Amino acid sequence: MVVGEFTVGADVLVIGGGPGGYVAAIRAAQLGKSVTLIEKNDLGGVCLNRGCIPSKAIISMADFVHRMKTMETAGIRVNGITVEMERLQQWKQGVVQKLTQGVASLCKGNQITVVQGEASFVSANEVRVVTEHGSERYRFESCIIATGSYPVELSGIPFDGQRVISSTEALSLKKIPQQLLVVGGGYIGLELGTAYRKLGSEVTVLEGTGQILPGTDPGLVRYVTRNLKKLGVEVQTNALATSLQINGEKVDVTVRVKDETKVFSADQVLVTVGRKPYTGGLELADSGIETNEQGFIKVDRQQRTTNPKVFAIGDVTGNPMLAHKASYEGKVAAEVIAGLPSEMDAVVIPSVIFTDPEIASVGWTEEQAKQEGYETLTGRFPFGANGRALSMEGGDGFVQVIAEKQTKRVLGVHIVGPEASNLIAEATLAIEMCATLEDLSLTVHAHPTLPETIMEAAEAAVGHAIHILNK
């Protein structure tokens, strides 16, 4: 490699080493391409280091603590639980390191050149990468942008990293806040707010719209709302935070709730009101790459941007901002670069919310299916009628299956309840393979297990359910 006016880097240059970028790099290498991966911080990106993985580690331990405190009905009484937050953070970081080291090993094993630095375009086929040793220029045949997203900051409540924090800082707290105010009742705010409540914080959630988890089916959200109340989490909807004031050891946040002005006080304020595409500093205009009004990079079904040599994947291309979507798109981009006839043709993309209980959805809701012109059949089965769920103290919630009336083809599955995040995989496969209600109901499911609820919901849709009364 020659360092100077420019450096001939590789066939494929990948900018960003998150779940989209490193997957794209590995797939391109598997297909015989010479690959250079540029990552500004740590391999694994936000997901592995400051998002998906550390949040689920903390959520899992918070759930464990909560269950230990609430199992007296089963004859299990535990006295004196102590949460040592610093040790919990050390354990969490150990989980993260195992995975990031695994990514590094995979890159090395696939002969990918990894460069730590920040990239910006200087022409249609060249970037400048600033590293701790200076700057280098890389010329590429193809490039994949996978720079992800970052938390939105409220103008009246700016982040300071100490008292007003984003999800990044919330995942690294060395001390459990006595009072935590969560601004934003979307999935990030509710996941972290619920976890810290279970670890001992007093938690208040402020949501600007009329429903927490806006955009999610209200029938699913109802169970989360009810459980938040049981946990003692205060929820205020139609609440717009406008400003803050540091008052000694407390942060006072002024909030407009409908027609009233209220002040909420807390030790720390967690702001989770959305994320923006990370394109700052890339100098996209210098490479002929166009973005839309929201700042997301425009791509076609093959992830190609308006510069035919450059592809973009993941959060930087728009919603849904999901790690598994980024990984899928990364493989598509790599395969297109290698000359394969790939495109983003997934029928559905599942979404999961790790609240209590969990919510998972894939495909259309009944209302959406009707809007698309379908007559529908709908079956619902409650976890309260499932033996495995009851044995886990997880009887809240249900599985709902939506199908086309004429063909019985499954159009959507929506779950709120125990291990919804795992159950949604069967539903996703069913829709992807154009499965029918009969396919689900005639498949023998092991007993006693949670997936039986999907089978029984499918049977309920055609009036054959065994363990509930049919309509």
Domains annotated for the chain, with CATH where assigned, are 7-151+276-337 (3.50.50.60), 164-273 (3.50.50.60), 351-461 (3.30.390.30)
Model confidence band, residue 248 (pLDDT cutoffs 50, 70, 90) = confident
The Cα–Cα gap between 467 and 448 comes to 13
In this structure, what DSSP letter does residue 68 have?
H
**What is the rounded average pLDDT of the residues 123-147?**
93
Catalytic center residues: 447
Of all residues in the chain, what percent carry a pLDDT higher than 70? 98
**What is the rounded average pLDDT of the residues 413-438?**
98
Model confidence band, residue 8 (pLDDT cutoffs 50, 70, 90) = low
Mean pLDDT in the chain? 95
Hey, what are 113's tokens? 């050149």
- pLDDT tens track for 181-195: 999 999 999 999 999
pLDDT at 2: 43
Hey, what are 12's tokens? 């494929």
- pLDDT tens track for 281-312: 999 988 999 999 999 999 999 999 999 999 99
On the question of pLDDT at 324 being above 50, the answer is: yes
Q: Which residue numbers belong to the known binding site for NAD(+)?
A: 184-191, 207, 274
On the question of pLDDT at 244 being above 50, the answer is: yes
User: CA-CA distances (angstroms) from residue 456 to 362, 366, 378, 379, 401?
Assistant: 18, 18, 12, 8, 10
- Among residues 336, 465, 317, 321, the alpha carbon closest in space to that of 400 is found at 465
Handedness of CA 185, 56, 94, 196 (dihedral sign): positive
- pLDDT tens track for 75-131: 998 888 899 999 999 999 999 999 999 999 999 999 999 999 999 999 999 999 998
**3-class DSSP state of 415:** strand
- pLDDT tens track for 26-71: 999 999 999 999 999 999 999 999 999 999 999 999 999 999 988 8
**What is the rounded average pLDDT of the residues 255-271?**
95
The Cα–Cα gap between 412 and 309 comes to 37
On the question of pLDDT at 460 being above 80, the answer is: yes
Model confidence band, residue 13 (pLDDT cutoffs 50, 70, 90) = very high
Model confidence band, residue 10 (pLDDT cutoffs 50, 70, 90) = confident
On the question of pLDDT at 345 being above 50, the answer is: yes
On the question of pLDDT at 422 being above 90, the answer is: yes
In this structure, what DSSP letter does residue 444 have?
P
Q: Are 82 and 61 in contact (CB under 8 A)?
A: no
**What is the rounded average pLDDT of the residues 428-443?**
97
Model confidence band, residue 3 (pLDDT cutoffs 50, 70, 90) = very low
Q: Which residue numbers belong to the known binding site for FAD?
A: 56, 147-149, 315, 321-324
